Structure 1
């Protein structure tokens, strides 16, 4: 009976984890910056504990070995899939998160190992949020600063100033310079 309850809890956590992965592929995520990270870590810890708890079962051994093998295989092609997993599970290269209002927030982040630093704009839609824009940070810096010496200066302040159906205007304060930048629909979402 105890094993069935533990297994049911693990299946529920796995369903939530897979939902988060599917949402991520469709530019959505659970609302809040740390929500996805917390779900990922809880799932990972529960996976390890479940495999250890059920190790005497043949399926647990196969599942555990399969997960370790997939992780090792992701390292072979220049470690790109492995780093994708690391970036999805961790806060590596997530430089800043700024809440613009109750609905919109931005992140200054490097979404992947080979990506340039980007500004990602999210819209909260209740339990989930949608990634609306993914703009290279260099574009924001070129717009805001006349001379740029630091390749990754922090955003001192950001404020939502204009919202339309195809763009969002955010006033950035970077190194004492203040300027409005319009993130637009034609921003290439996966532009390196």
Structure 2
């Protein structure tokens, strides 16, 4: 009976974990940067616990085999899916998170193993939040530093955001005032089509 309760709890956690993945594919997630990390790590810890506790069962051995096969297959195509999995469970390549106000937050992050840094804007509604805009970080640097990307050195490209302040938002864009390298400038992020709904 104890094992049955553990399996039920694990299945519930797995459904929450899968719902987070489905939400991510649609540019949604549960509100807060660490929420999906906590859900992921709880699922991972519970998976290890279930495998160790119920190892004698054939179904668990098969499940473990499927998980290992999935990890190996994700490594084969240039390790890109593997790095996506790693990014989901960790803060790897997530450089900054800034809460603009109660409704909006931004992240400076690398969306993939071979990608350059981006800025993403999230809008929170209740327990969910949605990625409403994404732009390469170099575009923000060009605007704030008032220089072409050709004239921005690789060291300067690594400079973080000192401060970000919400300016305004409408159905087409959201204005954020950035301070980078002691320079301030407003950057208007274009909102994905039909993503701004009240």
Q: Is the 8 A contact 2:120 2:134 kept in 1?
A: yes
Q: Does 2:98 correspond to 1:92?
A: no
SS, match of residue 74 in structure 1 = helix
**RMSD (Å), alpha carbons:** 1.2
Partner Cα separation in structure 2 for residue 100 and residue 43 of structure 1: 30
Gaps of 5+ in 2: 194-198
Say which SS state the counterpart of residue 75 (structure 2) adopts: coil
Asked if residue 69 in structure 1 is aligned to residue 69 in structure 2, the reply is yes
Q: Is the 8 A contact 2:17 2:40 kept in 1?
A: yes
The reply to whether residue 173 of structure 1 matches residue 143 of structure 2 is no
Answer whether contact 2:174 2:191 (CA < 8 A) is retained: no
Distance in 2 of aligned mates of 1:116 and 1:128:
27
Partner SS for 1:153: coil
Task: Name the TM-score, length of structure 2 as normaliser.
Answer: 0.92
Q: CA deviation at 1:166?
A: 1.0
Shift of 1:111: 1.6
Distance 1:121 1:156 in 2: 17
* 1:141 paired residue number: 141
* Other-structure match for 1:10: 10
Alpha-carbon displacement from aligned partner over 1:123-162 (angstroms, at most 9, x marks no partner)? 0111110000011000000000035331121100000101
For structure 1, the residue ranges without an aligned partner over 5 or more in a row are: 188-192
- Equivalent residue, structure 2, for 1:158: 164
Aligned equivalents of 1:113 and 1:64: distance in 2? 26
Give aligned pairs, total.
187
CA deviation string 1:75-114 (max 9, x = no partner): 1111111111101111001000000001100000002112
The separation in 2 between residues aligned to 1:111 and 1:131, in whole angstroms, is 13
Aligned to 1:23: 23
